[in-house]
Amino acid sequence: MTAHTSADHTPAFSPVLTVPPALRRWDVFCRVIDNHGDLGVCWRLARDLAGRGAQVRLWVDDASALAWMAPDGAPGVQVLPWRDPLADEAPADVVIEAFGCDPPATYVTRMVAAAETGPAPLWINLEYLSAEPHVEGLHGLASPQWSGPGRGLTKWFFFPGFTPATGGLLREPGLLARRHAHHPATTLTRLGIHLGADDHPDHALMLLFGYTQPLLPAWLDLLADTPHGRGDRRVRTTLLVTPGFSAQQVRAWLHQRGATGPGPVVGALRLHFLPHVTQVEFDRLLWASDLNLVRGEDSLVRALWAGRPLLWQLYPQEDGVHADKLAAFLDVALDHTPPALAAPLRAMARLWNGGGDPADLPRVWSALWPALQVPWRTDAAARQQRWAGQPDLVSSLLTWVARQRTDGLG
């Protein structure tokens, strides 16, 4: 579909922080591709919108993960199965299709009918997060629908991102205040995570949430076999392992090492296998950890707001496109990082995403370990503060839709 530029990206007025009365009703459409990452983003979006006064319907083809992700739901958010709308269901004021998922044709037809008797529903395609430079040029572009069920309507592209010329990052009001008031010991105790009083002084708590990771066994070996002084067998790392790919790989590694038990210790490495936790609890674990190894979009953004060191595993793509996305992210994330720290961080990130020579892992990791508690953490906290100075995604979205209505666009 041909895309056309709307007005410039500069807001015509101050950022909108609450939902305008004329745009109270929002529909968010989401398809769960795999791993529930898309649903995680959509749920946080819906909850944030509702917290600012919107009435949100979240249409999703598989909501099963919400049973553990958000078991208590959220006021103002109604979760509906992906289906053709019922006869008495009207389109919302704002319609968001997450990641190009294409709402049901019958729903789009009703959007066209609504536009014949009043303002057309604002139709937004919320794209995946990317730091690639072209995103700034595509953010806010219009795509007139010349054919199909939406003929006559306009779909608008909205890109999350890391610069003021994009839609920003999801960050609900009060998030950073809650993060700064958090007491890690409370979260760890509640989840039955026990650290040893006689752990090594350099002990680090790490959270592992990833896709299948070819480098993981070798990295676990490094954590377990870290050299100590003579007779020193103190635990130096506690690794919190999330369910799914990560847990499967770590258990296979344990079997290979001949270790068993509910909370095994292998050399200098202690392991703790986590159950599925809510999004709120996951955030707290990110806040409590010294290093967060995360995957996909939702956990990356939450790890960034944690202000702690992180390693990001992108969704691997056969054509290698994820390598370009990683490089673009590193360019913006390490823009203010001292070169002595940025070099091993880039090298480790590439290794963690299938690039570089795996034989370099011991050298690269040994360069990063001493930086974990001070330089790396300081750099992560500074990055959090820089990006917190930009409008968050929902504030940018509300500002944008209010401007579209003011300008008479739809």
Query: DSSP states of 332-348 as a string?
Result: HHTTTS-HHHHHHHHHH
For the chain, the straight-line distance linking the first and the last C-alpha, in angstroms and rounded, comes to 17
Domain count, the chain: 2
Mean pLDDT in residue range 248-261: 90
Catalytic residue among 27, 38, 283, 298: 38
φ, ψ of residue 63 in degrees (nearest 5): -95, 10
User: Element (H or E) spanning 224, and its range?
Assistant: helix 216-224
In a domain, 30, yes or no: yes
Q: What is the mean pLDDT of the chain?
A: 91
In a domain, 234, yes or no: yes
Is 297 among the catalytic positions?
A: yes
Whether residues 165 and 210 fall in one domain = no
Instruction: Report the percentage of the chain scoring pLDDT > 90.
Output: 79
What confidence score (pLDDT) does residue 36 get? 82
Rounded-to-integer distance, Cα 251 and Cα 353, Å: 21
Q: CA 100, 103, 104, 109 torsion: positive or negative?
A: negative
Mean pLDDT in residue range 139-157: 93
Residue 55 sits in a domain whose CATH number is 3.40.50
In a domain, 1, yes or no: no
Mean pLDDT in residue range 295-314: 97
What confidence score (pLDDT) does residue 262 get? 64
**Helix (H, G, I), strand (E, B), or coil: what is residue 269?**
strand
pTM of the model: 0.92
168-195 per-residue burial string, b: 16 or more CB within 10 A, e: under 16: bbbbbeebbeebeebebeebbeebebee
* Lateral strand order in the sheet of 55-60: 77-81, 55-60, 25-30, 94-98, 122-126, 154-158, 142-144
**Helix (H, G, I), strand (E, B), or coil: what is residue 287?**
helix
Mean pLDDT in residue range 38-66: 96
In a domain, 126, yes or no: yes
In a domain, 13, yes or no: no
Catalytic residue among 93, 127, 297, 392: 297
Mean pLDDT in residue range 88-106: 92
Is 127 among the catalytic positions?
A: no
* Residue 13 pLDDT greater than 60, yes or no: no
What confidence score (pLDDT) does residue 195 get? 87
- For residue 98, what are the domain limits? 25-169+391-408
In a domain, 330, yes or no: yes
